[in-house]
Amino acid sequence: MSQVLDIERYDLNIKSNNSSHHTELCGEERLIVRRGQPFNVSLHLKAESKEFKPSETSFTLTVETGPLPRKESGTKVCFGLHDSTVDTEWSASATNDPSGNTVSVTINSSPNAPIGLYSLTVDQEGQRTSLGQFTLLFNAWCPRDAVYMRSEMKRQEYVLAQHGQVYRGTYKRIKGTPWNFGQFEVGILDICLKILDDNPKFVSDADQDCSARRNPIYVTRVLSAMINSFDDSGVLVGNWGEITDGVHPGQWIGSGDILRQWAESGPVRYGQCWVFAAVACTVSRALGIPCRVVTNFGSAHDTDANLVIENLYDEDGESISDDSIWNFHVWVDSWMTRPDLGEEFDGWQTSDPTPQEKSEGVFCCGPASLRAIKEGELTKKYDAPFIFAEVNADVVDLVRLSNGQLVKIGGSTKSVGRFISTKAVGSDERHDITHQYKYPEGSKEERQVYEKAQHHNKLQQRGEEPELRLKIKLADNMIVGSDFEVCAVLTNNCMEAKTCNFLFVAKAVGYNGKLGGSCGFASDKVEVPPGEERRLCLRLKYDSYGSVITSDRLIHLSAITVDKQTIDYHKAEKTIVLDEPVIEIKLVGEATLYESMTAELSLLNPLPEPLQDCSFTMEGVGLTDGKPIILRIGTVGPKQEAKATAELSPSITTPSVLLVNFDSDKLRNIKSFINVMVNECASTEI
């Protein structure tokens, strides 16, 4: 019969365990470990207890997770002591402290265990003693874990980095927007686990759901559904129209505030694609899944699943199409193996939490293997055809005549899926990853993949030089608030004069390609002699565009020429991004741990009218006490400066980033950031 130890107290050795498991930034209040890696627990014995002797003393440890732990589901595991732990399953070993009063127990979790909150119990001949709780995460440092990454630099970036860049704009004007992921902020991990517990699959079958949390494929798909709230009680409500309540998507600068609001009061209003993706990245990294935010410029939304974007116009050039091409779209890639597909499909997997189309009856998308997308393997789970079209659809432009006839006026095999971008590892530079999603545009490989993926509606591009060439020229300086000129230029390359109707239209447009109100219109009937050109110009005035543009500050230009006698149509389009004012950030004083310093903020109002309800919002890990600082400054006159100051007191010495957002009634979504290096407190000699 084994000796029974008389345990006085236990110590989870939180500080040392969390440090070795790369979770020390979560604090020292609780034990947070990564699966497949050992951690140590100390059992302090009463003075009168018998001494622990490995040959004479044995006990059983039990770990349990979920509301209904079951051995059959892997959510309850009992295991005894061995001479040493093994790295393939739950196991434990124990040694005696030289003093004889402390037993050091080493526990190794299974690299395939479900993640989540666990209880730990020791059982000695039926006498059960609770050893508290711990949280188990995926482990990118463990070679046997499905999310294992070999590169330490990539683990630092894709698991541990708490701030990053989200790219927006157009493919010709790409701009990085700073974002505070904040996955280690106080309370965030608990909220991420709550997201899993609130998902409908947990509600319908908690046992099966908790068991499935061993699989990062399953967890990623759940997150894709739960970050949006279209068909569940998910985190964010999407809104791409006029916003009269809630928070405008452009105001957010970090995930923490969004997640805390959701935990307190349910779905948060509002998000758009970059917000959905950034929050998904936070939750994935918090749970231990390596994750990156990805932006696709010229992102197709293929509504009829034929891998072709059909831009359909009426005779006046107005769009009447269901398909669309977004200026940009943002999603996430997560790193994991794909045993369900085969090892050649391991690595980055795309998932999209923005609600666009249903997948298996739910608004979610992915994860789909980047290898499958690149190679056109569209039968591979999940949602590969939709994502393939987003980055590699062909485009055809059609005009529907009044008699119903469709006339092709153009098209492209190269306009979709450009400059696919993510933050570079270890720097704030943009990293182009287009080659990971597709072969070079127009290459033999790219065309072969497309033809393999598409079983119908193959389109052939005309190779000859068009007789009429139409293009749009822009002004050099186009800052929001200014007036400027844009021109459509029609060149006649043929040997005879051409006469046609010439239209030039400017409209506000959202980043998702949805057209808004008119900013300008011009038309003319022109005759163009051989070898000459004719121009049709628009003077875009702030008085015309200021009231109709969105916070994305985008204007869509469309020029069209029509020769109805020969049914000859030509079309040119361009989306311009209006330049925004710059937020100046100045830190006064040294950034020293627990010592006060001042942040001075300023922004020049470029508009010819006052800005109302102006405010700066600041947020930074270890700089703003885990929550945003809002500085309200009221009204700022035309061409005047908005100014504000705030006191900061750094609470961590790791490198941080101070993110700043400016908001007002007419200028929104203006962001900037500054890197902050915090010094240790200066020692005081006595």
Asked about 352 being catalytic, the answer comes back as yes
Apex CA 290: angle with CA 284 and CA 296, to 5°?
85
CA angle 175, 156, 42 (to 5 degrees): 145
Which residue in this structure is represented by tokens 């009937």? 525
Q: How many helices (H) and strands (E) does the chain have?
A: 13, 38
The DSSP annotation for 462-486 comes to: --SPPSEEEEEE--S--BTT--EEE
What Cα–Cα distance (Å) separates residue 56 from each residue in 4, 30, 44, 83, 84? 10, 32, 18, 13, 16
Catalytic residue among 163, 301, 329, 556: 329
E strands, 154-282, are 163-170, 173-180, 236-238, 268-271
Task: Report the relative pairing of strands 394-400 and 406-412 from DSSP bridges.
Answer: antiparallel
Please report the DSSP string for 236-269 in residue order. Answer: EEE--S---SS--GGG--BSHHHHHHHHHHSSEE
150: its two tokens = 């070999």
- Cβ(392)–Cβ(404) under 8 Å? no
Contact call for residues 200 and 209 (beta carbons, < 8 A)? no
Q: Are strands 308-313 and 394-400 parallel, antiparallel or unpaired?
A: parallel
The catalytically annotated residue of 209, 333, 352, 552 is 352
> What are the tokens at 462?
């005309």
**Catalytic entry in 210, 273, 281, 614:** 273
Question: In this structure, how many other beta carbons lie within 10 angstroms of the beta carbon of residue 458?
Answer: 11
Q: Cα 230 from chain centroid?
A: 18
CA-based Rg of the chain, rounded to a whole angstrom?
Answer: 30
d(CA 604, CA 614): 12
Question: Is-catalytic flag, 273?
Answer: yes
The whole-angstrom separation of Cα 614 and Cα 637 is 11
479-to-11, 107, 301, 476 alpha-carbon distances in Å: 61, 60, 30, 10
CA–CA distance, 343 with 70 (Å, rounded to integer): 30
Compute the CA torsion angle 338, 341, 345, 350 (nearest 10 deg): -70
- Bridge partners, 178 (sequence order): 165
Q: Give residue for tokens 């989306």.
A: 575
CB 235 within 8 A of CB 268: yes
Confirm whether 329 is a catalytic residue: yes
Q: Which two tokens stand for residue 363?
A: 């608004």
Residues marked active site are found at 273, 329, 352
